[in-house]
Amino acid sequence: MTLLSFGVALLAFVVLGPVLGCFLTGADRIITARMQGRVGPPFLQPYYDVQKLLAKERRSLNSFQGYYLILALVMTVLSGAFFFAGGNILLVVFLISLSSLLFVIAAYSTRSPYAEIGAGREIIQVLAYEPMIILLGVFFYLATGSFDTSAVATLGLPLVALLPLIFVGLLFILTIKLRKSPFDLSFSHHAHQELVKGITTEMSGHNLAVVEITHWYESVLFLGYVGLFFVWAPPLTLVLAVVVGLAVYFLEIVIDNSFARVKWQYMLSWSWIVTLVCCALSMVLLFALYGFVV
Amino acid sequence: MLVIAALIIVPLITALLLLVFRSNRARVVLVIAAVALLVALAFVLTARYLFFSSGFAVAQSGFLSYVMLGIDLVCCLYILYRGIRATNYLAIFLAGLQGVLALVYEFGFSHNAAVSIDVYVDELSLIMTLIIAVTGGGICIYALGYMQSYQEHLEHEGSGLAVSGEPSRVAEALRLVRDRRHIFFALMFVFLAAMFALVFSNRLSWLLTAWEVTTVCSFALIGYARTEEATKNSFRAVVVNLSGGLAFTLALIMLAGGGTQLFELDKLIEAGVGGTLVLPLMLLAFAGMTKAAQMPFQGWLLGAMVAPTPVSALLHSSTMVKAGVFLLIKLAPSFGWNIPGLFVLIMGALSFLGCTALAISQSNAKRVLAYSTVANLGLIVCCAGVGTPEATWAAIFLLIFHAGAKALLFCCVGTAEHHLGSRNIERMDNIFVRMPWLASCMALGMMAMFIAPFGMLVSKWAALVSLIETGHMELLFVLAFGSALTFVIWAKWLGKVLAVGREDERISTRVSRLEMVSLAGMAFLLIALTLGIPYVSELFVMPYLWETGLVLQLPIWAQASEVLGYDNLMIMSIVFMVMLALLVVQILRRRPPSNDTVYLAGVGASSEERSYYNAFSELRDATQRNWYLEQFFGEGALLRPVTILLSAVMALFFILGIVAELMPL
Amino acid sequence: MSASVKSPWVLHYDASSCNGCDIEVLAALTPLYDVERFGIINTGNPKHADLFLITGSVNERQVPIIRQLYEQMLEPKVVIACGICACTGGVFKECYNTLGGVDVAIPVDVYAPGCAVRPETLIDAVVEGLGILEEKRLLLAAKSLKPAELPARPSAADKLVQGETVAAAWQKAIANALQTAGQEEQ
């Protein structure tokens, strides 16, 4: 990763990230509505929502909440830029967890009991998905010999062929990360009445708009993770990665609409079990099939 | 050489002066002057070493060995005396045995041995010196303010007791209340002197003496309060540490006897790299682990919290436990894929995972800090056990940042405790409104413990990379899950501390100026360290690895490159700058106070109190407790199985070690 | 039309309704009526909501609650009284424990009659409310104007004459006023 490639990626991600994220969310809402036998909102509805939120009165319980949320947005953008610039995958992971932490603190900072419940649940969500994300970075290194995401471009075959089970594990925790049922414990876009919308309870107006935009960036970044498994040496595979990313997003929407929210115990124990099993078996597979020795 | 001697002697003289001049004013002046002198000396030493000389080693001998032996014996006698008074047979036995063995070692082996280097300096001892002088000194200054309110508090309580009670209780109260702060501060400085001696000694018998002095100082400081609980816990600590000291002495005797004839640390490391030593290395590792309070010995460190907070801060950050990991890091080149290496690595890794999980279930702030200390030291121990230069880099970085962050955190918690009247994390709700600067320092310390872009995370990252490169796959799982657990511990506490509520309601609580100054100093240091991550690596850590490689003729060490790459370190530094810059913008951009209220289902009465009117129009408080997940991570669920597991692992390894010693392959 | 009108989020509060109107409010969210077509979302949180839908008559205990929820909503916001009880107190108007409609507690922007209110009426009321929401957004944007500079709200008669909505006419007037104010500053 050179400074130039980082600059280009940063610029591209800053501009394209929210556009793509907005489109994804818009499509999500229409598809969800159709699955429920409704017409659904316009495609650009998420954009209208954010624009409306930004036009609202500027008022919040304290000014620190805004600081934490802006910082969380900056960290998400930075990590996305590192990711798409071919930077260190662990760096991306650590910056994303900083972003999650800032989001949690933003909720805590208001001292709202509802927001604190959401924040507590968000922490449990991090506990559930963090091991898989870190181990994904580790396995990435084992398969490619480098921590840089750009290393996939030198591979002779896609990462998914080398690490199929890691991909499964990623899909499992992706449901948490994209805030989809059954793992949308801290807040979701659907179970609106539940605990007054969890972690975002006290975030209103422009603060809520920042949360929404951060979520757009995050969605794109995590679909990027999915795409990473389908890119290898030929440049055309980038198209395949996009297609697979979109397919996975559709799959997540289907899952979202087919499940009810589960209890945190269930989410935590299953995420950890899936992580352990997938990673342990991957280790065996990697060794048996490709005879990798460190 | 003069500087080194001064570093050891200055705190000793200070301790004596403190015993003589007992007035408060004199103490403040003395402590501040001594700390300033120590910090200056530490910097002079660093500057001389880094810029003028590539390392110096000085031979000294003769009567100093008698002095050192004498000190060691005095330590044993003191514990014997206290053990007899408290009729603690285990302590009496261990102290007696220790004294006898020390005599045997000195006169049976060591006294006439030819030792070429008694005292040495390298980058690691420089790092330790700076940590001891700066954080240790900072804690001493902090203690000036803290002990003042501690004593006032004690007298307040004592007068209550004296009024209420019968004669025996009055006597008890008077005994507890007596102002013994001069002893307290003297002990703190002796502790620092012992630590300085420890990091410079190359002659193993001197190292042992310094080791024993830290044991005794911690014993006396933990028991400072003189309550029943304090005495009990101080004996628990001394028993564990004496058994560690005993293992140390046994290792020395084994090294001196037999065919090896080793009396010096550098020769020991050299021999260790050759792979001929098994049991002595394991015994030394055992000693290191007891001092570093690794599981299953973590009990003594948790019990040590009965002492006044500066003692905890000192034990956890710059002294005592750091002595244990210092020894293990020194020995790191001899670890790796061998029995002692695997022993250290597995014990450390399991301690890390076990104590991180245990910390989640704690609501007592000091217990959380204690468990997290054991966990992080576990990681250091584990990295030392890996025995590669990359892992050692991670271990040293962990050591530096842990010292900085933990000193700050303990001092913050101590101050908070005095003002809130509780160590409970749940009570720290709203502390940001009452004491914004204290809460900010605390938040900084907490973030430094676990999140990007701070040093601890950078070191964890390096540990991860070095574990992958050495093929310790099982430990990658430990680290991945451990990191996630760490997030939970700190995130929920951080949330409580940073809860602002409505900021126009700020009520400042007055904090002692000495406490505030030292807290601000430590916070500033932490910020500077985080910004300077690349330079710390370049100036101190990498040269240490290279020099170790040169001395031991290990090409991997001599040619080690920055494990994370200089650019990634720079990125971390820049990310931190972004955070700081945005924070400055946030602070400068003052907005009019908001009149917004917290959503409480439309029946809220007051946002500050979080009260509401219930269905009977009665005023009620909405309370919200953090998650402690006791059914998963509680002491009841975890402590016993983990302790048994670790004891079994330890026993197994010692059996292996003895077998390997008896039947060399 | 601005985005405010395209994304009205709803807070639904039951003052002391018989639940007839509440069921109709929820019915409007079902696939049959599908108000999400207009970007409407039922939030359940005053901090997120733009429209305040209240059903049922108001009694002594409801007043502070309704006021608090109303205050916690960010401007611009619109209150819609759903059903005849919320409008006037309905059949409970003369009861010893009833104060009257929602307007005894907070200013109401749209009255949607009916017992129970029909989903069609509700949708009508919301659409009416959106016009008011837009006006309020303009007022918020025009906060920098001095009261004297603020153009008067066009009357409905003007609207008929000029063939445009009241909101659109007012928006133009306020935009003009803001522009002139900006020029004067320079």
Q: Which chain B residues have a beta carbon less than 8 Å from that of C65?
A: 602-603
Element housing C70 (H / E)? helix C62-72
CATH 3.40.50.12280 fits C3-132, yes or no: yes
Find the mean pLDDT for residues B59-63: 62
Compare CB distances from A196 to B502, B594, B599 and report the shortest one's residue. B599
Structure tokens at B442: 């605390």
The pairing of strands C9-14 and C41-42 is: parallel
Predicted confidence (pLDDT) per residue in A214-235, tens digit: 999 999 999 999 999 999 888 8
**Cβ separation of C65 and B597 shorter than 8 Å?**
no
Compare CB distances from C75 to A36, A37, A57 and report the shortest one's residue. A57
First CA to last CA across chain C, in angstroms? 29
Position B133, amino acid: A
pLDDT at B506: 55
Q: Which domain holds residue A188?
A: 3-290
Chains that touch A (3 or more CB pairs under 8 A): B, C
Alpha-carbon gap, residue A148 to A84, rounded angstroms? 10
Question: Do residues A128 and A120 make contact, with C-beta atoms less than 8 angstroms apart?
Answer: no
Find the mean pLDDT for residues C113-131: 90
SS3 for C90-147, per residue? HHHCCCCCEEECHHHCCCCCEEECCCCCCHHHHHHHHHHHHHHHHHHHHHHHHHHCCC
Alpha-carbon gap, residue B423 to B428, rounded angstroms? 8
pLDDT at B662: 82
Residue % of chain A over a pLDDT of 90: 60
Predicted confidence (pLDDT) per residue in B521-566, tens digit: 999 999 998 888 888 888 888 888 888 888 888 888 888 887 788 8
Total length of chain B? 665
pLDDT over 70 at A60, yes or no: yes
Question: Do residues B359 and B489 make contact, with C-beta atoms less than 8 angstroms apart?
Answer: yes
Q: Which chain C residues have a beta carbon less than 8 Å from that of A51?
A: 2-3, 7
Q: Which chain A residues have a beta carbon less than 8 Å from that of B442?
A: none
pLDDT at B509: 64
pLDDT over 60 at A193, yes or no: no
Compare CB distances from C69 to B596, B602, B617 and report the shortest one's residue. B602
Alpha-carbon gap, residue B569 to B153, rounded angstroms? 46
Compare CB distances from A134 to B480, B492, B503 and report the shortest one's residue. B480
**Cβ separation of B492 and A123 shorter than 8 Å?**
yes
pLDDT over 50 at B229, yes or no: yes
Lowest mean pLDDT among A247-256, B330-339, B516-525, C162-171: C162-171
Mean pLDDT is highest, among A207-211, B2-6, B563-567, for A207-211
The pairing of strands B119-120 and B57-58 is: antiparallel
pLDDT at B175: 75
Best residue of C45, C54, C66, C68 to probe chain B, by most B CBs closer than 10 Å: C68
Q: Which chain B residues have a beta carbon less than 8 Å from that of A123?
A: 487-488, 491-492, 627
Lowest mean pLDDT among B111-115, B191-195, C85-89: B111-115
Helix H segments across B86-132?
89-105, 123-131
Tell me the shortest Cα–Cα distance from C66 to chain B, in angstroms: 7
Helix H segments across B114-180?
123-131, 137-164, 167-177
More reliable by pLDDT, B518 or B167:
B518
pLDDT at A294: 42
CA-based Rg of chain C, rounded to a whole angstrom?
18
Give the count of beta carbons closer than 10 Å to the beta carbon of residue B107: 11
Answer yes or no: is B8 within a domain: yes
Q: Which domain holds residue B237?
A: 2-589+602-662
Mean pLDDT is highest, among A82-86, B467-471, B610-614, for A82-86
Alpha-carbon gap, residue B507 to B510, rounded angstroms? 10
Q: Which chain C residues have a beta carbon less than 8 Å from that of B617?
A: 61
Total length of chain C? 186
Compare CB distances from A109 to B485, B500, B578 and report the shortest one's residue. B500
pLDDT at B14: 92
Chains that touch B (3 or more CB pairs under 8 A): A, C
Find the mean pLDDT for residues C127-133: 88
| pLDDT band, very low/low/confident/very high, at B505 (cuts 50, 70, 90) | low
CA-based Rg of chain A, rounded to a whole angstrom?
19
Task: Tell me which chain B residue has its CA closest to the CA of residue C67.
Answer: B602
Best residue of B502, B595, B603, B618 to probe chain C, by most C CBs closer than 10 Å: B603
| Mean pLDDT, chain B, integer | 86
pTM of the complete model? 0.92
Tell me the shortest Cα–Cα distance from C165 to chain B, in angstroms: 34
Q: Which chain B residues have a beta carbon less than 8 Å from that of A142?
A: 468
A86, A125, A109, A72: which is closest to A203 by C-alpha?
Answer: A109
Q: Within an 8 Å CB–CB cutoff, is residue C47 touching chain B?
A: yes
Answer yes or no: is B595 within a domain: no
Task: Tell me which chain B residue has its CA closest to the CA of residue A201.
Answer: B599
**Domain locations along chain C:** 3-132, 145-185
**Cβ separation of B602 and C68 shorter than 8 Å?**
yes
Number of domains forming the structure of chain B: 1
| pLDDT band, very low/low/confident/very high, at A63 (cuts 50, 70, 90) | confident
Q: Which chain C residues have a beta carbon less than 8 Å from that of B597?
A: 68, 71-72
Tell me the shortest Cα–Cα distance from B536 to chain A, in angstroms: 20
Element housing A165 (H / E)? helix A164-177
Number of domains forming the structure of chain A: 1
**Cβ separation of C66 and B602 shorter than 8 Å?**
yes
Give the count of beta carbons closer than 10 Å to the beta carbon of residue A215: 21
Torsion angle (degrees, nearest 10) of CA B365, B368, B369, B374: 160
Find the mean pLDDT for residues B277-282: 88
Q: Within an 8 Å CB–CB cutoff, is residue A23 touching chain B?
A: no
Residue % of chain B over a pLDDT of 70: 95
Alpha-carbon gap, residue B610 to B604, rounded angstroms? 7
The residues pairing with B339 across neighbouring beta strands, listed in sequence order, are none
Compare CB distances from C45 to A40, A45, A197 and report the shortest one's residue. A197
**Cβ separation of C6 and A45 shorter than 8 Å?**
yes
**Cβ separation of B602 and C47 shorter than 8 Å?**
no
Q: Which chain C residues have a beta carbon less than 8 Å from that of A39?
A: 34, 37
Q: Which chain A residues have a beta carbon less than 8 Å from that of B501?
A: 61-62, 110-111
Find the mean pLDDT for residues B281-304: 91
B392-422: burial string, b at 16+ Cβ within 10 Å, e else? bbbbbbbbbbbbbbbbbbbbbbbbbbbebee
Task: Tell me which chain A residue has its CA closest to the CA of residue B597.
Answer: A61
Alpha-carbon gap, residue C6 to A38, rounded angstroms? 18
Give the count of beta carbons closer than 10 Å to the beta carbon of residue B2: 10
Helix H segments across B332-422?
339-360, 365-386, 389-420
Name the phi and psi angles at B303, rounded to 5: -70, -25
pLDDT over 90 at B351, yes or no: yes
B488, B446, B481: which is closest to B464 by C-alpha?
Answer: B481
Q: Which chain B residues have a beta carbon less than 8 Å from that of A62?
A: 500-503, 594
Q: At what angle do helices B309-316 and B181-200 cross, to 10 degrees?
A: 0
Per the rule left: phi > 0, alpha: psi between -120 and 50, beta: everything else, C163 is left
B281-313: burial string, b at 16+ Cβ within 10 Å, e else? bbbbbbbbbbbbbbbbbbbbbbbbbbbbbbbbb
Q: A 55-74 residues with CB below 8 A of C?
A: 55-57, 59
| pLDDT band, very low/low/confident/very high, at B52 (cuts 50, 70, 90) | low
Q: Which chain C residues have a beta carbon less than 8 Å from that of A200?
A: 48
pLDDT at B488: 93
Name the phi and psi angles at B383, rounded to 5: -65, -40
Q: A 100-119 residues with CB below 8 A of C?
A: none
